[in-house]
């Protein structure tokens, strides 16, 4: 029992999710009403509460108004805790079914029942009292108000004695008012409502705390599961450890060296990676490679495969050099195949969480996580995936999710778009179709905390393993496959032709240079000769002019002497 | 009407009235039954009264969880029960006369 004198005293139920939603359990003294339609799980829940109380050494009285002792014990035996109810001195099971053909002749009360229960409480020291299906008796009241008064009396009786009283009642079409017990929901401080609905023809159970006076509590309607272990509240049962701080900086391999290089050394431990792509783009192959690499490091891997069985997955991986059979045999890889359509979303969630708790893996693969969107109740898949990722992250698990896109969906990469916002790394696989050939491609859309190329690369699968091809850019395209090889050859050939042409051209130019240089030399010689000729010609011309002048002068002197009779030698000196 | 469970040991009683001390409905049931027995001329000795507050184990023995209750044991084990304070006279008379 928990709580202080001032606070409402509570009694733990032992069902983690229920204790969490009720803030510590049900009232330690007084009544709680559990309402629900048939098959909602009212009796199972109360029997489980009794079994868990007995397991803790507490005592309980179970009064059944609908089923016989044998029926109840037989039903309980279908659960793991069923044996707890057999031959336990702390347990009294009272068959209080009204006799067949019982008639009514006026008002009645439950004083006799309380006398019997009081006797059993005294004998066993019980803390729990359960009245299952009491409406079967109280509905015989002519006046419904009398039935409600009887319930109030029971609650007060238990409260005075410090007993936790659980009453189950049936719901009709109303949300809260129990059938045959009108108004009783107002008299009790705690009302729990179990409901059922059909989701894609599958029965889905829901739980809600409609009322819990004096106590903080979860008001949400949450899924409730019933399996061999009994009642579970899958989204409330789990206890997650505090996330590790600081974030790990260790890199772990994807199993593909070239991909590790592209990612800056591999994936961060504890990170989440989303691999999206259409069918056949090698998502599962990359998952297998990652799992095999983790196993090779001695780490445990939980491989959750939706819609594909272990044998074909491992066979297909073997064809590309990835061996998962050995690590599965060694217990390092735990392969869980699940059929998406076969369970409700909360059942898948619960199974995955339970597998994680059992296996305690270092790495988890969910392939494809997008399968959760097609399960019954898949509208809540988004939240479910987020819950899983959050749980894995807190446990330091390195996670790879795959998202299967549709061939017809051009934006198929966005199938798990919300998960991509949570993922640390997002790899997109696709096909590159050129020249009638389809080749796989891979690109890193994001990788938090890592410098990475945004280049689309070719993802190559062969018997030797998985590899990425070097980027081959051709204009604005990245060529892959045969087109890449063909283009590489064409480029090489064209390069060689160009080199030959360049050499030829060079030789031609060098030859022309030689010719030109020879011509220039010839012209220089010609010029020099011309210059020499010109100088000679000018010298001759000068001499000729001088001679002409001399002759003219001589003629002039002769003429003068003939006219004056002066000495010609003297006249030549004066002319100079 | 004889009082006390010990009356059962002598012979199988024809009727057993289960009450819980002085609870108002139990007191009303006793009065209504006594009046009807007298009116129908049935010997009150045919009725044994069991107070469940005094002996709660009888609740479990007879499987009587609503009180007051009038029980007619049968050899076959399929006992007939009339619940209530027996204020509905016709129902009580029918139970007493048809049994």
CA nearest to A137 within chain B:
B66
Percent of chain B whose predicted confidence (pLDDT) is above 70:
86
State residue A250 phi and psi, 5-degree precision: -70, 140
Q: According to the model, what pLDDT value does residue B7 have?
A: 41
Pick from A459-463, A468-472, B77-81 the range whose average pLDDT is largest. A459-463
Residue of A101, A107, A115 with shortest CB distance to B59:
A115
A94 contacts B81? CB cut-off 8 A: no
Please give the residue that has the higher pLDDT: either A451 or B46.
Answer: B46
Q: For chain B, list residues whose CB is within 8 angstroms of any CB belonging to chain A.
A: 18, 20-21, 23, 25-26, 28-29, 32, 52-53, 56-57, 59-60, 63-70, 78-88, 91-92, 95
Q: According to the model, what pLDDT value does residue A411 have?
A: 45
Mean pLDDT in residue range A319-326: 96
CA nearest to A119 within chain B:
B56
Is pLDDT of A284 > 60?
yes
B63 contacts A96? CB cut-off 8 A: yes
Mean pLDDT in residue range A472-499: 79
Residue of A96, A103, A115 with shortest CB distance to B53:
A115
Q: According to the model, what pLDDT value does residue A108 have?
A: 92
Q: Is A105 on the interface with B (CB under 8 A)?
A: yes
Q: According to the model, what pLDDT value does residue A569 have?
A: 57
Check: CB of residue A321 under 8 Å from CB of residue A463.
yes
Mean pLDDT in residue range A117-138: 92
CA triple A235-A377-A276, angle to 5 deg: 90
Q: According to the model, what pLDDT value does residue A134 have?
A: 86
Lowest mean pLDDT among A367-376, A550-559, A565-574: A565-574
Residue of A108, A115, A140 with shortest CB distance to B52:
A115
Residue of B26, B78, B83 with shortest CB distance to A104:
B83
Q: According to the model, what pLDDT value does residue A258 have?
A: 92
Q: Where would I find the H helices in chain B?
A: 24-40, 57-62, 89-98
Percent of chain A whose predicted confidence (pLDDT) is above 90:
60
Classify strands A10-11 and A26-27 as parallel, antiparallel or unpaired: antiparallel
Structure confidence by residue, pLDDT tens digits, A257-276? 999 999 999 999 999 999 99
CA nearest to A121 within chain B:
B56
Confidence bin at A87 (pLDDT 50/70/90):
confident
Confidence bin at A166 (pLDDT 50/70/90):
very high
Q: According to the model, what pLDDT value does residue A233 have?
A: 93
A119 contacts B79? CB cut-off 8 A: no
Q: According to the model, what pLDDT value does residue A486 have?
A: 77
Confidence bin at B6 (pLDDT 50/70/90):
very low
A113 contacts B81? CB cut-off 8 A: no
Classify strands A91-95 and A60-64 as parallel, antiparallel or unpaired: parallel
Please give the residue that has the higher pLDDT: either A41 or A479.
Answer: A41
Q: How many contacts, defined by CB atoms under 8 Å, are there between A and B?
A: 116
State residue A219 phi and psi, 5-degree precision: -100, -5
Mean pLDDT in residue range A428-446: 84
B63 contacts A102? CB cut-off 8 A: no
Q: According to the model, what pLDDT value does residue A410 have?
A: 39
Average model confidence (pLDDT) across chain A: 87
The two structure tokens encoding residue A184: 């009783």
Beta bridge partners of A169: A35
Where residue B37 falls (left for φ over 0; alpha for ψ -120 to 50; beta otherwise) is: alpha
Selected for mutation to probe chain A from B31, B83, B85 (highest A CB count within 10 Å) is B83
Q: According to the model, what pLDDT value does residue A526 have?
A: 94
Q: Is A140 on the interface with B (CB under 8 A)?
A: yes
The two structure tokens encoding residue A38: 């048939």
Percent of chain A whose predicted confidence (pLDDT) is above 70:
90
Residue of B65, B78, B79 with shortest CB distance to A112:
B65
Task: Give the integer Cα–Cα distance in Å for A508 and A449.
Answer: 57
Is pLDDT of A568 > 60?
no
Confidence bin at A376 (pLDDT 50/70/90):
confident
Structure confidence by residue, pLDDT tens digits, A33-73? 999 988 899 999 999 999 999 999 999 999 999 999 999 99
B79 contacts A104? CB cut-off 8 A: no
Is pLDDT of A172 > 80?
no
Where residue A299 falls (left for φ over 0; alpha for ψ -120 to 50; beta otherwise) is: beta
Selected for mutation to probe chain B from A112, A133, A138 (highest B CB count within 10 Å) is A112
Using a CB-CB cut-off of 8 Å, the residues of chain B touching A112 are 18, 20, 52-53, 59, 64-67, 69
Mean pLDDT in residue range A550-564: 83
Candidates A18, A81, A63; CA nearest to A168 is A63
B56 contacts A103? CB cut-off 8 A: no
Using a CB-CB cut-off of 8 Å, the residues of chain B touching A97 are 63
Is pLDDT of A320 > 50?
yes
Is pLDDT of A306 > 50?
yes
Confidence bin at A3 (pLDDT 50/70/90):
very low
Confidence bin at B82 (pLDDT 50/70/90):
very high
Selected for mutation to probe chain B from A61, A98, A106 (highest B CB count within 10 Å) is A106
Instruction: Please tell me whether residue A128 adopts helix, strand or coil conformation.
Output: strand
Please give the residue that has the higher pLDDT: either A491 or B77.
Answer: A491
Is pLDDT of A285 > 60?
yes
Beta bridge partners of A467: A460
Is pLDDT of A544 > 80?
yes
Q: B10 to chain A nearest CA, in Å?
A: 25
Please give the residue that has the higher pLDDT: either A448 or A451.
Answer: A448
Mean pLDDT in residue range A128-137: 90
B65 contacts A108? CB cut-off 8 A: no
- The interface pTM score, or ipTM, of the predicted complex is 0.88
State residue A413 phi and psi, 5-degree precision: -60, -20
Q: According to the model, what pLDDT value does residue A9 have?
A: 92
Task: Give the integer Cα–Cα distance in Å for A340 and A372.
Answer: 7
Q: According to the model, what pLDDT value does residue B10 have?
A: 47
First vs last Cα of chain A: how many Å apart?
Answer: 153
Lowest mean pLDDT among A107-111, A399-403, B9-13: B9-13
Using a CB-CB cut-off of 8 Å, the residues of chain A touching B81 are 98-99, 101-103
């Amino acid at each position: 029992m928990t709580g202080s004198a001032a606070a409402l005293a509570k009694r733990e139920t032992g069902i983690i999710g229920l204790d969490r939603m009720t803030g510590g359990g049900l009232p330690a003294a007084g009544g709680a009403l559990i309402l629900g339609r048939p098959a909602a799980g009212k009796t199972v829940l109360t029997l489980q509460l009794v079994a868990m109380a007995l397991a803790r050494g507490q005592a309980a009285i179970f009064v059944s108004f609908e089923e016989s002792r044998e029926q109840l014990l037989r039903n309980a035996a279908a659960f793991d805790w069923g044996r707890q109810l057999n031959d336990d001195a702390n347990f009294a099971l009272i068959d209080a079914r009204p006799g067949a053909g019982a008639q009514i002749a006026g008002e009645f009360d439950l004083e006799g029942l309380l006398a019997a229960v009081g006797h059993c409480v005294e004998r066993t020291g019980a803390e729990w009292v359960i009245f299952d299906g009491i409406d079967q008796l109280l509905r015989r009241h002519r006046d419904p108000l009398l039935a409600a008064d009887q319930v109030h009396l029971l609650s007060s009786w238990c409260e005075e004695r410090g007993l936790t009283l659980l009453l189950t009642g049936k719901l009709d079409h109303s949300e809260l008012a129990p059938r045959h017990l009108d108004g009783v929901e107002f008299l009790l401080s705690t009302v729990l409502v179990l409901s059922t609905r059909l989701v894609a023809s599958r029965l889905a159970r829901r739980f809600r705390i409609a009322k819990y006076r004096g106590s903080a509590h979860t008001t949400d309607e949450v899924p409730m599961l019933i399996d061999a272990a009994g009642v579970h509240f899958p989204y409330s049962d789990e206890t997650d450890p505090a996330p590790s701080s600081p974030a790990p900086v260790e890199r772990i391999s994807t199993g593909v060296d070239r991909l590790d290089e592209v990612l800056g050394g591999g994936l961060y431990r504890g990170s989440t990676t989303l691999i999206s792509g259409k069918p056949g783009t090698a998502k599962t192959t990359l998952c297998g490679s990652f799992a095999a690499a983790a196993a090779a490091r001695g780490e445990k891997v939980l491989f959750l495969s939706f819609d594909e069985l272990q044998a074909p997955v491992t066979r297909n991986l073997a064809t590309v050099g990835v061996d998962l059979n050995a690590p599965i045999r060694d217990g390092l890889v735990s392969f869980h195949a699940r059929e998406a359509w076969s369970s409700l979303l909360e059942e898948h969630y619960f199974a995955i969480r339970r597998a994680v708790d059992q296996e305690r893996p270092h790495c988890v693969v969910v392939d494809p996580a997008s399968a959760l969107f097609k399960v019954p109740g898949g509208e809540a898949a988004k939240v479910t995936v987020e819950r899983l990722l959050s749980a894995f992250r807190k446990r330091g698990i390195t996670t790879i999710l795959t998202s299967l896109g549709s061939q017809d969906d051009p934006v198929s990469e966005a199938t798990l778009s919300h998960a991509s916002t949570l993922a640390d790394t997002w790899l997109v696989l696709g096909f590159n179709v050129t020249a009638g050939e389809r080749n796989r491609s891979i690109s890193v859309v994001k990788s938090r905390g890592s410098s990475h190329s945004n280049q689309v690369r070719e993802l190559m699968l062969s018997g030797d393993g998985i590899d990425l091809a070097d980027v081959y850019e051709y204009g604005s395209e990245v060529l892959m496959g045969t087109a890449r090889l063909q283009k590489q050859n064409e480029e090489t050939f064209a390069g060689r032709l160009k080199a030959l042409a360049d050499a030829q051209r060079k030789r031609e130019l060098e030859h022309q240079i030689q010719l030109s240089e020879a011509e220039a030399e010839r012209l220089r010689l010609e010029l020099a000769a011309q210059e020499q000729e010109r100088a000679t010609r000018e010298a001759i011309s000068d001499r000729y002019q001088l001679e002409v002048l001399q002759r003219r002068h001589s003629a002039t002197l002769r003429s003068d002497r003939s006219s004056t009779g002066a000495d010609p030698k003297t006249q030549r000196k004066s002319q100079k | 009407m004889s009082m006390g469970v010990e009356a059962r040991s002598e012979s199988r009683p024809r009727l057993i009235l289960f009450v819980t001390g002085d609870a108002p409905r139990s007191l009303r049931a006793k009065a209504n039954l006594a009046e009807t027995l007298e009116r129908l001329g049935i010997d009150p000795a045919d009725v044994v009264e069991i107070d469940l507050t005094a002996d709660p184990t009888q609740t479990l023995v007879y499987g009587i969880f609503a009180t007051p209750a009038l029980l007619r044991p049968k050899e076959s084990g399929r006992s007939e029960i009339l619940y209530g304070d027996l204020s509905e006279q016709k129902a009580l008379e029918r139970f007493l006369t048809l049994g």
